[in-house]
Amino acid sequence: MLAQDEARKARSEAQAALQAAQDAWASQNQNLAQEQAALQKELQTLATERSALVESIDPADLDLYDQLRREHRGVAVTTISDNACDACGSRLTPAHAQAVRSAGQAARCPTCGRILYGS
Q: What is the mean pLDDT of each run of 10 residues along the chain (119 residues)?
A: 87 96 97 98 96 91 93 93 92 88 80 89
Q: Do 87 and 100 sit in the same domain of this protein?
A: yes
Q: How far apart are CA 47 and CA 56, in angstroms?
A: 15
If 0-12 CB within 10 Å is exposed, 13-18 middle and 19+ buried, where does residue 112 land?
Answer: middle
Confidence at residue 104, expressed as pLDDT on a 0 to 100 scale: 62
Q: Do 1 and 51 sit in the same domain of this protein?
A: yes
**Is residue 96 within 8 Å of residue 110, measured between CB atoms?**
yes
Q: Do 49 and 3 sit in the same domain of this protein?
A: yes
Q: Where in the sequence is the domain holding 91, given as residue range(s)?
A: 59-117
Please tell me the pTM assigned to this model: 0.63
Q: How far apart are CA 27 and CA 51, in angstroms?
A: 36
